[in-house]
Amino acid sequence: MAVCIAVIAKENYPLYIRSVPVQNELKFHYTVHTSLDVVEEKISAVGKAMADQRELYLGLLYPTEDYKVYGYVTNSKVKFVIVADSSNTSLRDNEIRSMFRKLHNSFTDVMCNPFYNPGDTIQSKAFDSMVSAMMVQAS
């Protein structure tokens, strides 16, 4: 279960950030922002060699003491970042991948909405509900 999910545009500003424990939101913002560095490093590293075969799922970006940060890049350079609790060790790679896939599908749905301007923050209720389903239940 994720504690924070973020969607970041090509120009590196956030389109959507949601985190569960609302009081510590700032910390997650900072974590996501910093993880962008690692994302960029991974993209640039792979890009030169095989430009077509680049994998979308980037895997574990970096572990901090309490959290693990995972990344995923679409072909239009939109990035998804999931921050998950480290104590929850039952999260396997496949589960994270499926979470990203669901995110990606919902995101494409949002894009398909003719009233949505690319570059705006995401305010779709469907997207919201999908994300809530993935997050840890607030206790």
Partner 1 sequence: MAQCVQSVQEFIQDSFVPMVAVLCSEDAEKVTRKNNLNFSELLRPFCRLTSEGHMRDPSNQLQVVKNLRISVNNVVTRPSVPSSGVPGHAHRRLLSEVVLTCQPAEGGVANVITAGDYDLNISATTPWFEAYRESFLQSMPASDHEFLNHYLACLLVVSSSEAVPVEKFLKLSQEQHRIQHSGEYTNPKWFIPNTLKYYVLLHDMSQGDEQRADSVYEDMKQRYGAQGCYLLKVNSRTAAAGADEQIPDPWSQYLHKSSLQSQVQLGPRLSVPSIYLLMYRTSEVDGHDSEEKGSLDNTHPLQLDTPSDTPGSLDALRAVAVETKPPPLTTGVAAATSHGACLTLNDHDRIRLFIQEFTFRGLLPHIEKNIRQLNDQLVSRKGLSRSLFSATKKWFGGGKVPEKSIAELKNTSGLLYPPEAPELQIRKMADLCFLVQLYDLAYSCYHTAKKDFLSDQAMLYAAGALEMAAVSAFLQVGAPRPYPAHYMDTAIQTYRDVSKNMVLAERCALLSAEVLKSQAKYSDAATLLIKMTSEDSDLRSALLLEQAAHCFINMRNPMVRKFAFHMILAGHRFSKAGQKRHALRCYCQAMQVYKGKGWSLAEDHINFTIGRQSFTLRQPENAVTAFRHILTNDSQQTSTQQGAFLREYLYVYKDTYFHDVD
Binding footprint of partner 1 on the chain (CB under 8 A):
11-14, 24-27, 29-30, 33-34, 36-38, 40-41, 44
Q: Measured from the CB atom, is 101 or 118 closer to partner 1?
A: 118
Question: In angstroms, rounded to a whole number, what is the distance separating the alpha carbons of residues 35 and 16?
Answer: 15
Q: Measured from the CB atom, is 12 or 86 closer to partner 1?
A: 12
92 DSSP 8-state letter: -
Residue 121 Cβ, how far from partner 1 at the closest point, in Å? 9
The strand ranges marked E within the chain are: 2-8, 14-19, 57-63, 67-73, 79-85
Residue 77 Cβ, how far from partner 1 at the closest point, in Å? 13
Which residues does 117 contact at the CB level (< 8 Å), separation at least 6?
A: none
Q: Measured from the CB atom, is 13 or 59 closer to partner 1?
A: 13
Residue 49 three-state SS: coil
Residue 98 Cβ, how far from partner 1 at the closest point, in Å? 28
Structure tokens at 42: 């991974």
Q: Measured from the CB atom, is 18 or 68 closer to partner 1?
A: 18
Question: In angstroms, rounded to a whole number, what is the distance separating the alpha carbons of residues 47 and 9?
Answer: 19
Residue with tokens 């469907």: 126
Residue 13 Cβ, how far from partner 1 at the closest point, in Å? 3
